[in-house]
Amino acid sequence: MRATRYYTTVSALAVLFLFPLVWSGWASLEDPGDYLEMARFGEGLGTYLTNSALVSAMTVGGTLVVSALGGYAFARFDFPGKNLLFLATLAILMVPYATILIPLYVLLGHLGLQNSLVGLSLVFVMFQLPFALFMMRNAFEAIPRELEEAALVDGCGTFRAFSRILLHAVRPGLITVGLFAFLASWNDFFAPLILLNDGASFTLPVAVVSMTQRTFGAVDYGMLQAGVMTMAVPCLILFLVLQRHYVRGFMSGALRG
Amino acid sequence: MSITLDRPPRGTAHQSAPSPPPWWRGRKAQGWAYAAPTALIVGVLFVVPLILVVWMSLHRWPLLGPATFNAPDNYTKIADNPLFLDAVVFTLKYTVIITVLLSAVALGLALLVQERRPGVGFFRTAFFLPGAVGFAAAALLFYGMLNNEFGPIDPLLQSLGITDEPVKWIGTPDAALFSTIALVLWRFAGFNMLILLTGLQAIPVEVYEAARSDGANRWQIFTKITMPLLRPTIALMLILSVTGSLLAFDQFFIFTNGGPDNSTVSMVMVVYREAFFRFDLGGAAAISVVLLVALVALNVLQMRVLRRSR
């Protein structure tokens, strides 16, 4: 009896949470022409998809390289300024994201990276760094010191020990960091809205939002849901496949940083 | 912050080699080499913008053209910016409502799926799944779903006899706020549930067993054991919710577009408008600095409370 009531409640809630996703998928597929129309919107879907994929790839790659090297440094080395650098990195979490995008816009202009996918990716790497560095430092600390020492005794330099042996041992951490970096860079709307100002360099979220803001004619809602699904489906699949790694990000307490 | 850095003992195997290694092979230099990319990114893309935003706020800084020193004009004119003052009131109101509702819903969900039983994994995933969708995509999804002609919600409510005619979901200030809250709850409830679940799982089973053998009922267990032990996790959730809500942008920019009648303009939207509609980067920077100081102060305060409750 109690079990029936329990399952009725959670099932009703599950329907409530899944309904919008199912509806959007259905609405986007009702008329396959919506996808064709979306493919021709603005600069063309291919351009936006390529931009988004490039930004995500650069963000994931950059975050992995920087946080793996940095995590190793913080876990295994002692150097002057270590605590200061760690606190400065964590301070990124304390400073509201939105408030430093205006100066970043000006700064990237001076660096010749205005309206640039590379510039945007670097900004994403910076925003990912507190979580990623904390995660990777913990991952390296969890490796038994003997593993590294054995490699060093065998004549490996620290870099060879790092790249040949330690990186394998921290692979789960790398997957978690990469997953968070992908979801953030693929989905973010505010940073590309500010840092990119030319339609040809828009990422998917900015392009799809601009579908609602056409000056002439009504909004094409079918096309809009096709856009929503194009953005959402890769994330949904990736999340379902890598769910375990996502939850580990929470479990590690890294959010607490 | 609970992070403490433990210092690894100096010197590992290779330092016992017969001749001392040159300085650039020492652990210090190597440590710096590995940390250099981090330092570069944090320095150039975080510390410099942090200084730059203060510098900009002291200047008349048009989107194009040279900047001229005008301090403290950018700050004094904030007080004369009715859009911003309204936005402060609105954003605070929104933050309170969202934080209360989101915490309640997330706690309810977490309690429902905390125990292992058949199918519970599916329900956890179902509640979280909206969180995997980007917030911009979620806002556009609701934009279509609540549309009177295209969306399914109005026909559904009418066929159930709940409403007689299409509802103006974003047509009045109250309705727009209500719809935005529904969107945010849908998108973030599972995320907060996951945070709470990590806290719930950390409570040892023995504590519950001891309470039960002492004859405590379910309500007593919830109020006397679960809630006190969950306090740090709840505090963390509140910090994330308050900070996130005070900086709300996407939901209002995409979903309500600040309307109707600028009734749903958030503080960050004003920063954006100052910079890219009024081309006044100095003014936008001054508001940013105010927000930044307020939020850092709030974060520090909350961290203190969080630490004390541990």
Rounded to an integer, what distance in angstroms lies between the CA atom of residue B26 and that of residue B190? 48
Whether pLDDT at B6 is above 80: no
Asked whether B63 and B279 are in contact (CB, 8 A), the reply is: yes
Span A163-179, average pLDDT: 90
Give the distance, in angstroms, between the CA of residue A220 and the centroid of all CA atoms in the same chain.
29
- DSSP state string for A58-108: HHHHHHHHHHHHHHHHHHH---TTHHHHHHHHHHHHHS-GGGGHHHHHHHH
pLDDT of B13 reads 43
Distance set, CA B300 to CA B98, B305, B307 (Å)? 21, 9, 10
B 65-104: CB under 8 A from A: none
Torsion over CA of A177, A206, A121 and A103, rounded to 10 degrees? -120
Mean pLDDT of chain B: 86
Mean pLDDT of chain A: 89
Rounded to an integer, what distance in angstroms lies between the CA atom of residue A11 and that of residue A15? 6
SS3 for B59?
strand
Query: What band does B18 get if pLDDT is binned at 50, 70 and 90?
Result: low
pLDDT of A154 reads 78
Query: What band does B83 get if pLDDT is binned at 50, 70 and 90?
Result: very high
Answer yes or no: do B136 and A208 touch at CB < 8 A: yes
Torsion over CA of A234, A235, A237 and A239, rounded to 10 degrees? 160
Asked whether B154 and B167 are in contact (CB, 8 A), the reply is: yes
Span A15-35, average pLDDT: 90
CA distance B97 to chain A (A): 20
Chain A within 8 Å of B12 (Cβ-Cβ)? yes
CA distance B299 to chain A (A): 7
Span B215-220, average pLDDT: 88
Span A17-29, average pLDDT: 93
pLDDT of B177 reads 93
Looking at B21-35, B66-80, B159-173, B248-262, which range is the least confident one? B21-35
Query: What band does B289 get if pLDDT is binned at 50, 70 and 90?
Result: very high
Share of chain A above pLDDT 70, in %: 96
Looking at the partner chain, which of A10, A90, A149 has a beta carbon nearest the beta carbon of B3?
A90
Chain B within 8 Å of A112 (Cβ-Cβ)? no
CB atoms within 10 A of CB B37: 19
Q: Which residue carries 């006190």 as its tokens? A: B228
Rounded to an integer, what distance in angstroms lies between the CA atom of residue A161 and that of residue A170? 13
The pTM of this model reads 0.90
Rounded to an integer, what distance in angstroms lies between the CA atom of residue A106 and that of residue A91? 21
pLDDT of A217 reads 59
Give the distance, in angstroms, between the CA of residue B305 and the centroid of all CA atoms in the same chain.
18
SS3 for B26?
coil
Q: Which helix or strand (DSSP H or E) is residue A54 part of?
A: helix A45-76
Find, in chain B, the residue whose alpha carbon is nearest to that of A78.
Answer: B28
Q: Which residue carries 């029936």 as its tokens? A: A4
B59: β partners: B69
SS3 percent helix, strand, coil of chain B, rounded to 5, is 70, 0, 30
Q: Which residue carries 């949904």 as its tokens? A: A236
Whether pLDDT at A149 is above 90: no
B68: β partners: B60
Whether pLDDT at A251 is above 50: yes
